[in-house]
Amino acid sequence: MKKLYIAGNWKMNKNEQETAEYFTQLLLVQDQVQDSIEQIICPPFLYLHSSKKLTQISKIIIGAQNVSDRENGAFTGEISAQMLKDMGITHCIIGHSERRQYFHESNELIGKKYIILKKYGIIPIICIGETLEQRESGHTNNVLREQLEGIFRDKVIQEDEQLLIAYEPVWAIGTGKTATPDMAQEVHSLIRNWLIINYNHSTAERIPLLYGGSVKPDNIQELMNQDDIDGALIGGASLEITSYIKMIELAGEIKKC
């Protein structure tokens, strides 16, 4: 069976006690989680260590929300890939729309972060997506191609390399708006075809494509049933443990070969 990825991005939410309570409840249902489901939770940096410790004997993957493009040095407040590696972190989100919008991260910078994660063997979850203005003006496809080309320009994706790409329409993040399943599938197909054209069919098929943008229990199955959608990057709905567990259960009912 093909893997489905249910990734939760907590952003700047929860304290240490809330984090512990969340994982305590999530651990209780692990025996019921289908083998086809890959669970990824990305808490704030401060709670990566405790989250790893709490989940160390489970199938739950703990990921980071960001990383510096520099290896080390006088970069106050930054977190390096080497530090993440030292903590046993295996996954890291880069290029999230909030990083682009609020911290003015460019495709070139995100490409550098991809390279540094690759160097340290950390699997990147690379986010791309368009704004409402770009969609309404008919520029979605051009924007996504520009982002993909800016991040992956002159970079070789190795045959055994692991990475995930998450399409997150900016206009659907935290707004309650969601791309229809057909709209999401159309964009995921575009991304898949871009990978085929720029790399090859086998690379395109093995890279999981996730959808992010107001995913919740009442729409996750419709989205996951689309041919080119291999999972979800979930923000607000992943903060509620009952909601996240429900999405894991619903995704587990989907069978993809």
Q: Which residues are catalytic?
A: 96, 168
Q: Provide the strand spans (E) within the chain.
A: 4-9, 37-42, 61-64, 91-94, 123-128, 164-167, 209-211, 231-234
What are the helix and strand counts (H, E) for the chain? 11, 8
The token duo for 249 is 């259960």
What residues does 18 pair with on adjacent strands? none
The token duo for 173 is 């993040």
Handedness of CA 15, 20, 24, 30 (dihedral sign): positive
What residues does 127 pair with on adjacent strands? 166
Strand, coil or helix: what is 6? strand
- 93, containing H or E segment: strand 91-94
Contact 148, 191 (CB under 8 A): yes
